[in-house]
Amino acid sequence: MAAIPPPGIYVPVPTFFVGKQAADYNAVAAPLDIDAQIAHSLYLARAGIKGLVILGSTGEAVHLTNKERFEVLAGVRQAFEKEGFRDYPILAGTATQIIGEAVEQLKSAKEAGSQWGMCLAPGFFAGASTQEGIIRWFTAVADQSPIPILISGSSPVLMGRLGRYHYPGVSNNVKITPSTFVTLSKHANIVGCKLSHGDISVHAQVASNPEIDHDSFRTFTGLGQQLLPVVAVGGAGAIDGCAGFFPKTVVRLYELSVKNQLTEEEARERRRLQFKISSIEELVAKFGTVGIKEAISRLRGFGERDGTRLPLHGGIPGGDAEWANWKGLADSVQEEEDRL
């Protein structure tokens, strides 16, 4: 049986680039900031985060060359080993819809020290794709991958008679049905999925499905704002953006969510934490990778607010004025972080 990632809270980390103030800044292709990458990764590991997703959509994977991908993955792995975090879980994203190139990226990820890969559903021809085609695509990648993979994809969120799918800018509205997850879960080298949408019913149809062996296939939500209900229907945890800047708070909510018997005080704490995390997650929902980087820089001091690559440019629109709209909420969550 292939190794499966342990349950818990993972962070889809951004890839850090030098900002405009750096001497080697290049407006066309800002250089990697490996030092910031390592510092942030170690901070998360020390805060109780179970593992990292590196070079996913949040990590601007499509903006990196394969050589740069290896540098990021290997740099973080070497730092973990040096600092005593042996075998710390790393899930390496892929950023291509070419099966052969996805396999090459997974081979490189293994060489760099990653235990798992995370493959985004191919969405360029989403309108013409069939579930059988998606099954064959993931099967072809998994057959050749030297490390087990997880599926990062969308499922339908029904709104009236219209279908809406998470992350249209990345997955192009590609649809993966619960039955397709059931089929793919039976592949020996496919060990889980990340569902980044708000439909708890769909999470339940995967995470609670009796046709899936949940000891060999784990279901993670991509949204900490629904961590408690997802865990209640069998989810293994979250791969959550705001855990990149409020790690202890999200980890604490997970611990309370998986606990079977709570005191009245713990039950109140769990509701309070879920409310605050759900609220601050709106920053991520509104600004995506740019918002995550902004928060990490402002709240934790890692990286530059403008440390992105084109076509992403600068920090959140509105700068200080926009951040002021979120400061009160961020301060409220920070109180929880300080307490923990």
Q: Provide the domain count of the chain.
A: 1
Return the H-helix or E-strand segment holding 332: helix 319-339
Using alpha carbons, select from 145, 196, 144 the residue that is nearest to residue 167. Answer: 196
Checking 301-304 for CB contacts under 8 A at 24+ apart, the result is 302/16, 302/36, 302/39, 302/40, 302/43, 303/14, 303/16, 303/17, 303/19, 303/33, 303/36, 303/40, 304/16, 304/17, 304/18, 304/19, 304/20, 304/21, 304/22, 304/33
User: Residues with Cβ < 8 Å from 180, sequence gap 6 or more?
Assistant: 131, 134, 135
* First-to-last C-alpha distance (Å) of the chain: 37
Per the domain annotation, does 2 fall within a domain?
no
Contact present, 188 and 171 (Cβ < 8 Å): no
Contact present, 133 and 97 (Cβ < 8 Å): no
Contact present, 152 and 93 (Cβ < 8 Å): yes
Per DSSP, 84 falls in state T
Domain holding 268, by residue range, is 8-339
Per the domain annotation, does 88 fall within a domain?
yes
Mean pLDDT (the chain) is 90
Per the domain annotation, does 245 fall within a domain?
yes
Return the H-helix or E-strand segment holding 53: strand 51-54
Contact present, 212 and 206 (Cβ < 8 Å): yes
Q: Which tens digit of pLDDT belongs to each residue from 46-66?
A: 999 999 999 999 999 999 999
Q: Rounded to whole angstroms, how far apart are CA atoms 251 and 277? A: 11
Would you state the structure tokens that stand for residue 146, as one six-digit string?
């030297």
Of the candidates 10, 165, 167, 254, the residue annotated as catalytic is 165
Quick check: 167 pLDDT over 70?
Answer: no
* pLDDT confidence of residue 209: 97
Per the domain annotation, does 195 fall within a domain?
yes
Contact present, 58 and 222 (Cβ < 8 Å): no
Indicate the annotated binding residues for pyruvate.
Answer: 58, 239
Establish whether 165 is a catalytic residue: yes
Using alpha carbons, select from 245, 316, 320 the residue that is nearest to residue 281. Answer: 245
Per the domain annotation, does 174 fall within a domain?
yes
Indicate the annotated binding residues.
Answer: 58, 239
Lowest mean pLDDT among 33-47, 81-95, 113-127, 319-333: 113-127
* pLDDT confidence of residue 161: 28
Per the domain annotation, does 124 fall within a domain?
yes
Q: Which tens digit of pLDDT belongs to each residue from 189-206?
A: 999 999 988 889 999 999
Using alpha carbons, select from 105, 100, 26, 19 the residue that is nearest to residue 62. Answer: 105
pTM for this entry: 0.93
Q: Rounded to whole angstroms, how far apart are CA atoms 219 and 221? A: 7
Quick check: 28 pLDDT over 90?
Answer: no
Establish whether 194 is a catalytic residue: yes
Q: Is 152 helix (H, G, I), strand (E, B) or coil?
A: strand
Per the domain annotation, does 1 fall within a domain?
no
Helix, strand, coil percentages in the chain from 3-state DSSP, rounded to 5: 50, 15, 40
Quick check: 162 pLDDT over 60?
Answer: no
Of the candidates 175, 194, 276, 293, the residue annotated as catalytic is 194
For residue 152, what is the domain's CATH number? 3.20.20.70
Quick check: 311 pLDDT over 90?
Answer: no
Per the domain annotation, does 3 fall within a domain?
no
Burial of 130 (0-12, 13-18, 19+ CB in 10 A): exposed
Quick check: 251 pLDDT over 60?
Answer: yes
Chain center to CA of 330: 21
Give the phi and the psi of residue 180 in degrees, each rounded to 5: -70, -40
Quick check: 293 pLDDT over 70?
Answer: yes
Residue type present at position 283: L
Give the phi and the psi of residue 32 in degrees, each rounded to 5: -65, 150
